[in-house]
A and B are shown apart, each in its own frame.
Chain A
């Protein structure tokens, strides 16, 4: 019997998910022995045409990493779906749009203008902006064209499993690979991770969730034992799916939410906003004026990047054009 085929296909990614596989250490050899690599541009010398040649549905496990942000990654997503028996959205970008998804606060044109013309560090006297087709002396140059909206993998094709995280926790990756290789995959649609939030694994002591002041991480040396949120640091742990063993809070870093929403939550950012606005400024509430509340809330810097760092494309918010162009 032939070995199961494994492909790792990149979308709009930083290759961090790739590197996280190297954390498997020597066990990666077991994976390589147990599988046949069908496509993995980072590690194996296989070309796109090798992938295209394979029969549809013939690759047992396809890990797709990265968001879908241009016509090339969109093409790759469709190809991945076509060739995969089991398509796994690998990492926060594939699952929720991730960091590239934050581009959805602006339009494609304004992003290009900012990157190639307006930013202070740009020197571009000819004002060249890389559109799909650029005419140059001697012909035309083509580059992938940015989509108007950055999407998660499942906003483009049907996804079988989700393996969130930035990068995905090694333990979960190992669980998923073992399950796939042994033919014991859970029901389709399963998200690898915990049913509970990050707080469930966090060892910090939670006592009183009344928050009267929001602090940025550099402003204090947080107490190593107490809940970070209770110390005024916005920690996304309560609204974020667990399964990462709360590694960030364990080393005094607030959770940024890379595991995405919990199993019962539709919108991670909205859930966290709702939770935080409920507990903020409770002390002596009767005497709190609108202005006090405004000041308190303005202590949260970059709210979008805080609450939707990894999940903006999957949020229930709709895009409104032209407001902040």
Chain B
């Protein structure tokens, strides 16, 4: 459209069947609008969104030389793109279109006031015309997507997502902060309800991920920074030194055997020991040990060097330095998983960490594991004896408004599985499960519950224990009110297992900060829509897999990992992204660089830059801007305007509506 050209507006009033026409006198609306200055043609039609309806617009643009189009119909949410495409087919810029909502904003809410509704509809459409006069053509730009993905977190979610993307033919970089991939699933002995050996189903995937030609593993590596936006992220990673040359190391493990220093093992949650040079766990991928300089005698006192001396391929390198890695990726998958709620600190009444024989469910998994600290024998930590009476307490921290309000979604079935562990390892043991509700919603879970419930030596007590106390002889006991029998029961178990609530993995907080993605009130990553867009985040091109988004069991985690991978694949195979036309635009001639807008931008799209004359101005990166308008509302000088919603346009609408 040419500057100074006469403005010629076409107005189309939709009946929406009877949705609008039964309340609003659509003929009258069209007739009134035809009297408004600049309106060249005003029509009503039964279904504007139908093909014939759209064709009216296309033909009128040509016949009446229209250069603005207003459709009065439903909410723009659904059909704005429909009409924008029609306007484009007519040969106009698609943003020279304005939609007036006379259905949700009028006919649906004023069913019983027909004539007033018609008056209101006329005002709404007139306001849209007032804005349409001031519309300017807007541009959409295409930005290339780098066909490479970054997956943060090497648990089952990250592994599954990486494999899916790699199998689709795209390059993947999988980053894991620990020395081995595998995550929490690697700690489990069996998975419910099928009682598959967890390692047996996980390790093949770990190995596949490490061998896949499209996957680059970055273990023992942290994400330092992420800049850029969808399609073009710039990532900085920091690879922590293992002090072992990865190229030379054969994973023989001689160094570990020779190392004389032992410390509590993180993988075994402190129940077992590891050496100062250690493998994360026997099936670690990659099978390369790490020296922990905090406990290594060489790093602490300058002596020992046993590992270096005995290493057959001479792979030990005490001089290794942290290594910075820079990557450019088009899509990012967050799969940082979960951590356990800090029961020792927040719920001292359970005596966790105070009494050795109060352990978490995850710790029990290590005790049962054949590669765990007790070689698969359930022995209680205090004296190494086999417990004959075990209490399993569900919902520790979960579904509790003083702690975590939400359900951990796997504690119940994990508790049932733990009861199974006890009775299958120690057939004469008695197990008491203290529960509030048993929630077994997954496939096969209810059947599993029935099976455990049928065991004679597994008893169910409906109630949460009171404080766990210790007697003079060292034995633990607690009272619990059983709501099923209306009686207080006193239990004296040899071992107490807490099915603790879960929280986002501690590393997630930092990653969320780096990415500027939204976090929910529970601390987990916030999905874009809880039902319809569960794998997307507020940051375009960043997807969610697994417990980073909220508590999940393995099947749900794997399903979401696949969904996140397919979202990333869709983005990368299309190859480009379109920028949003309704972005913020800062007029440099008016901006004085006060800086109000900059910290408000949730998408990190605004930066303050110094111009040649030394003056400061704010600049918008339109590839990051989402057009939310926060900076525009906050701008104290009016230098920031939102394209398609500028002050002039909105004022014109307000004046029309109130005038």
Q: Which residues of A contact B (CB under 8 A)?
A: 195-200, 206-210, 227, 229, 237-239, 242, 262-266, 271-272, 274-275, 278-279, 282, 286
Contact = CB atoms under 8 A, between A and B. Distances in A.
A286 B637 CA distance: 28
Contact of A238 (B519, B587, B592, B616): B592
Given A209-B599, A278-B630, A286-B521, A200 B593 contact: yes
Given A196-B637, A271-B636, A286-B521, A279 B592 contact: no
A286 to B, nearest CB: 7
B483 interface: no
Given A264-B647, A271-B636, A275-B635, A197 B594 contact: yes
A198 B599 contact: no
B596 A264 contact: no
A197 to B, nearest CB: 4
A157 B498 CA distance: 80
Contact of A264 (B590, B598, B600, B634): B590
A238 B594 contact: yes
Contact of A262 (B593, B595, B638): B638
B589 interface: yes
B592 A199 contact: yes
A195 B595 contact: no
B596 A279 contact: yes
B638 A238 contact: no
B608 A282 contact: no
A198 B595 contact: no
A197 B637 contact: yes
Given A200-B592, A263-B590, 12 more contacts: A197-B594, A200-B615, A207-B595, A227-B595, A238-B594, A262-B590, A271-B637, A275-B634, A275-B635, A278-B630, A278-B634, A282-B599
By Cβ-Cβ distance, the 9 closest A-B pairs, closest first, are: A264-B638, A200-B592, A278-B634, A239-B636, A238-B594, A275-B636, A238-B636, A199-B594, A196-B592
A272 B599 contact: no
A195 B589 CA distance: 7
Contacts of B608: 206
Q: Looking at chain B's contact residues, is the secondary structure mostly helix, strand, loop, or mixed?
A: loop
Contacts of B592: 196-200, 238, 242
A128 B638 CA distance: 48
A199 B590 contact: no
B633 interface: yes
B591 interface: yes
Interface string B622-659: 00000000100111111100000001000100000000
Contact of B595 (A196, A206, A263, A282): A206
Contacts of A282: 599-600
Contacts of A210: 599
Contacts of A197: 592, 594, 636-637
B637 A262 contact: yes
Contacts of A195: 589-590
B188 to A, nearest CB: 32
Interface in B565-596: 587, 589-596
Contacts of B594: 197, 199, 206, 209, 229, 237-238, 275
A240 B629 CA distance: 21
A239 B638 CA distance: 9
A118 B647 CA distance: 45
B499 to A, nearest CB: 27
Given A209-B599, A286-B521, A196 B636 contact: no
Nearest to A282: B599
Contact of B600 (A200, A262, A278): A278
Nearest to A275: B636
Interface string B123-161: 000000000000000000000000000000000000000
A116 B639 CA distance: 46
A262 B636 CA distance: 8
A35 B131 CA distance: 48
A282 B591 CA distance: 23
Contacts of B590: 195-196, 262-264
B600 A279 contact: yes
Nearest to B520: A286
Nearest to B519: A286
Nearest to A227: B595
A55 B241 CA distance: 91
A197 B635 CA distance: 11
User: Counting chain B CB atoms within 10 Å of each CB, which of A197, A208, A286 scores highest?
Assistant: A197
A199 B638 CA distance: 14
B604 to A, nearest CB: 14
Given A200-B592, A206-B593, A206-B616, A265 B636 contact: yes
21 contacts: A195-B590, A196-B637, A200-B593, A206-B594, A206-B608, A208-B595, A209-B598, A210-B599, A229-B594, A239-B636, A262-B637, A262-B638, A263-B590, A264-B639, A264-B647, A265-B638, A271-B638, A275-B635, A275-B636, A279-B600, A286-B521
A245 to B, nearest CB: 13
A266 B654 CA distance: 14
A271 B647 CA distance: 13
Contacts of B647: 264, 266
Contacts of A278: 596, 600, 630, 633-634
Contacts of B589: 195-196
Contacts of A279: 596, 599-600, 634
A211 to B, nearest CB: 10
Contacts of A263: 590, 638
A263 B639 CA distance: 9
A57 to B, nearest CB: 33
A222 B353 CA distance: 49
A282 B590 CA distance: 26
A265 B632 CA distance: 12
A248 to B, nearest CB: 15
Contact of B633 (A229, A237, A274): A274
Nearest to B640: A264
A80 B521 CA distance: 62
Contacts of B595: 206-209, 227
Most buried by A among B587, B590, B600, B636: B636
Nearest to B635: A275
Interface in B424-441: none
Interface string B594-610: 11101110000000100
A286 B522 CA distance: 10
A272 B593 contact: no
A116 B608 CA distance: 53
B241 to A, nearest CB: 34
Contacts of A208: 595, 599
A237 B593 CA distance: 11
Interface string B522-546: 0000000000000000000000000
A21 B11 CA distance: 57
Contacts of B616: 206
A274 B636 contact: yes
A258 to B, nearest CB: 16
A238 B593 CA distance: 9
A278 B616 CA distance: 20
Contacts of A274: 633-634, 636
B596 A238 contact: yes
A275 B600 CA distance: 10
Contacts of B633: 274, 278
B600 to A, nearest CB: 5
A239 B599 contact: no
Contacts of A209: 594-596, 598-599
A195 B588 CA distance: 10
Contacts of B519: 286
A223 to B, nearest CB: 16
Contacts of B638: 262-265, 271
Contact of A239 (B593, B598, B637): B637
